[in-house]
Amino acid sequence: MKESTICPRLSKAMELIGKRWTGLILYQLLEGPQRFNEIESALPVSGRLLSERLKELEKEGLVVRHVYAEVPVKVEYSLTEKGKGLKDAIADIEQWSKVWLS
């Protein structure tokens, strides 16, 4: 890697968004809290990567994980305020896709 003139915060943001599945997972969670299997069914992502991405997003504080001690166990993921803060950006991407993609 080399020196760069770019803002480290923007860089970090792009690193988050610019990681496979992250955008779609956030988009999905904007609908409201959802369980692991719901997200897995809604997106063409495997359990392995979904698990990995959710851990990253939780670590970065965009997502919270809530475990319900039911049987079988129920785990719900939802967006924090920080996560919801990306709503506009995601809505813009969605809008762009409607205008520019066939």
Partner DNA sequence: ATAGTAAGTTACAAATAGTAACTATGAAAG
Partner DNA sequence: CTTTCATAGTTACTATTTGTAACTTACTAT
Site residues for its own copies per CB under 8 A: 1-7, 9-14, 17-24, 27-28, 41-44, 82, 85-86, 88-89, 92-94, 96-102
Residue 32 binds which entry of its own copies, DNA, none, CB below 5-8 Å type-dependent: none
**Residues β-bridged to residue 78:** 64
CB count, 10 Å around CB of 99? Answer: 6
Residue-wise DSSP of 58-81? HHTTSEEEEEE--SS-EEEEEE-H
Residue 36 found at the interface with DNA (CB under 7 A): yes
Other beta carbons within 10 angstroms of residue 18's beta carbon come to 10
48 binds, among its own copies, DNA, none (CB under 5 to 8 A by kind): DNA
Q: Where along the sequence are the contacts to DNA (CB under 7 A)?
A: 1, 19-21, 35-38, 45-49, 51-52, 54, 65, 71-76
